[in-house]
Amino acid sequence: MKKSEGFTMLETLSAFILLMVITLFTLPLLTELRIAQKDLQIEREATKLIQNEFFEHRMRNGPLPYTSKHQWTHEITLVITQEEEWIRGCVSWKNQRKENKEFCLHDKRE
């Protein structure tokens, strides 16, 4: 009987192919995860911006309608308007996939 030492060429090749298949399937998933993470970061920034600006504008009793643009990682547009007895503050931006997103807050006018 002959003693075998190490892997055969077929075993090495099949392990390499298996590793490549796993890599090819996980790489797009990791890329998609990174894009989703950046989208959430932009959404958090926009939400924080609308909460701060809406509160400050409300305390100052500033004129309506009020519009401002902010440039962070993306351009974020803030609009505060009056709708009957409500004040509406909306922030809009484009995410990493170039989709338009919007988040709004409402408060009762005193």
Contact 87, 106 (CB under 8 A): yes
Give the start-to-end residue ranges of the domains of the chain. 9-108
- Tens place of pLDDT for every residue, the chain, 110 residues? 566 677 788 888 999 999 999 999 999 999 999 999 999 999 998 999 889 888 888 788 888 898 889 887 889 999 999 888 888 999 999 988 899 999 998 988 77
- With 0.85 as the threshold, say if the pTM is over it: no
Q: How far is CA 95 from CA 33, 34, 51, in A?
A: 14, 13, 19
